[in-house]
Amino acid sequence: KQEVTQIPAALSVPEGENLVLNCSFTDSAIYNLQWFRQDPGKGLTSLLLIQSSQREQTSGRLNASLDKSSGRSTLYIAASQPGDSATYLCAALTGTASKLTFGTGTRLQVTL
Amino acid sequence: NAGVMQNPRHLVRRRGQEARLRCSPMKGHSHVYWYRQLPEEGLKFMVYLQKENIIDESGMPKERFSAEFPKEGPSILRIQQVVRGDSAAYFCASSPLPPQRQAGNEQFFGPGTRLTVL
């Protein structure tokens, strides 16, 4: 059974800092891993999808990496801004299942 | 191309009533997934449907919950005789392909329906 863990659970940083969010998964037989952003009371916005054959994906100030062998993914946010404040979720699509397994998220606050 | 649509966005029901949540997938998507997010918890998979077929319902509670995705119209998640513990945000996602068909097959999420049971 796939289990996904995210650390830290919460993070507060001053504007302009670079930061790393961590995601780990127990079953390395994944098809892909997605990173999402969720604002309070809102839906999920897809940020990046990394296929199992890929090592990283980049979109603007975001860079996500994937290391299947160690069961880890990281989301790197460069030059953080107050507008980045949200909960960030990672989710793994496991090869034997049809569902995404989500982590519990990292709540990020970027302060002025 | 409109995104995944869900309605209503907010739903209030009294204990014992029925709740019907609707999901219209993105155009061209025939694979629908329902997830539930309980307060202060992560999203949990409930059910995966293709047109007229339930493919995986391993996350559905055994009683009171049902889902369908008819040939025409939206997917429906139905909760009978709601209880306070059903209060949660229910999210629908869709994809153009089956989950394992292509590694780049992305699930696109709707805005969710927030169910409150009084």
Does pLDDT of B82 surpass 80?
Answer: yes
CA distance A8 to chain B (A): 14
Q: What is the 3-state secondary structure (H, E, C) of chain A?
A: CCCEEEECCEEEEECCCCEEEEEEECCCCEEEEEEEEECCCCCEEEEEEEECCCCEEEECCEEEEEECCCCEEEEEECCCCHHHCEEEEEEEEECCCCCEEECCCEEEEEEC
Does pLDDT of B100 surpass 90?
Answer: no
CA distance B17 to chain A (A): 24
Q: What angle do CA A94, A86, A83 make, to 5 degrees?
A: 130
A101 in B contact zone (CB under 8 Å): yes
A99 in B contact zone (CB under 8 Å): yes
Q: Contact, A21 vs A75, CB < 8 A? A: yes
**Among chain B residues, CA nearest to A87:** B42
Contact B56 A99 (CB under 8 A): yes
H or E, element range at B117: strand B113-117
Contacts with A1 (C-beta within 8 Å, 6 or more apart), sequence order: A26, A27
Could you tell me the end-to-end alpha-carbon distance of chain B, in angstroms, rounded to an integer? 37
Contact B99 A42 (CB under 8 A): no
Give me the sheet containing A62-67, strands edge to edge. A4-7, A19-25, A72-77, A62-67, A56-59
- Identify which of A42, A49, A89 has the shortest CB distance to residue B104: A49
**Among chain B residues, CA nearest to A105:** B42
Rounded alpha-carbon distances, angstroms, from residue A36 to B12, B33, B43, B64, B66? 27, 16, 12, 30, 27
Supply φ then ψ for residue B107, to 5 degrees. -95, 130
Contact A53 B103 (CB under 8 A): yes
Q: Contact, B25 vs B44, CB < 8 A? A: no
> DSSP letter at B26?
P
Mean pLDDT over B72-96 rounds to 95
Between strands B113-117 and B53-56, the pairing is unpaired
Each residue's pLDDT tens digit, A84-101: 999 999 999 886 667 899
User: Of the segments A25-29, B10-14, B37-41, which one has the largest average pLDDT value?
Assistant: B10-14
B111 in A contact zone (CB under 8 Å): yes
Contact A99 B109 (CB under 8 A): no
Contact A34 B100 (CB under 8 A): no
- 3-state class (DSSP) for residue B30: coil
Q: State the pLDDT confidence band at B102, using cuts at 50, 70 and 90.
A: low
Each residue's pLDDT tens digit, A17-74: 999 999 999 998 888 899 999 998 888 999 999 988 899 999 999 999 999 999 999 9
Q: Answer positive or negative: Cα dihedral of B82, B31, B36, B91.
A: negative
Contacts with A77 (C-beta within 8 Å, 6 or more apart), sequence order: A18, A19, A20, A21, A61, A62, A84, A108
Contact A89 B45 (CB under 8 A): no
Contacts of B33 in chain A (CB under 8 A): 98-100
Give the pLDDT of residue A41: 82
